[in-house]
Amino acid sequence: MPVTAYLSLVRIQLISGLKFRAAAWAKMSTFIFYGFVHVVLIQIFYRFGENTGAGFTAGMNMGQAISYVWLIQVIAHILPAMSVDSEVWQKIRNSDIGIELCRPLDLYAHGFARAAALRLAPLLMQLAPVTLIIMLLPAPYNLQGPASLANLFAAMLALAAALLLACACITFTYTLLMRVTWGEGPTHIVLGLITLLSGAELPLQLWADWTQAILYWQPFAGLVDIPLRLYTGTLPAVAVWSAVGLQLAWTLVFIILGRFLLNRQFRRLVIQGG
Segment 265-274, tens digit of pLDDT:
777 665 555 4
% of the chain with per-residue pLDDT over 70: 73
Return d(Cα 251, Cα 169) in angstroms, integer: 8
Q: Give the pTM.
A: 0.84
pLDDT, greater one: 103 or 56: 103
Segment 227-237, tens digit of pLDDT:
999 999 999 99
What pLDDT score was predicted for residue 100? 64
Return d(Cα 92, Cα 90) in angstroms, integer: 5
What is the CA 113 to chain-centroid distance, rounded?
A: 15
Enumerate long-range contacts of 235-238, CB under 8 Å, 24 or more apart.
Answer: 236/151, 237/147, 237/148, 237/150, 237/151, 237/153, 237/154
Mean pLDDT of 35-43: 90
Return d(Cα 47, Cα 50) in angstroms, integer: 9
Mean pLDDT of 177-188: 66
What pLDDT score was predicted for residue 241? 96
> Mean pLDDT over all residues of the chain?
81
Mean pLDDT of 199-208: 89
Return d(Cα 149, Cα 171) in angstroms, integer: 34
Closest CA to 32 of 140, 120, 118, 129: 129
Task: For the chain, give every domain's residue range.
Answer: 3-267
pLDDT bin (cut points 50, 70, 90) of residue 30 is confident
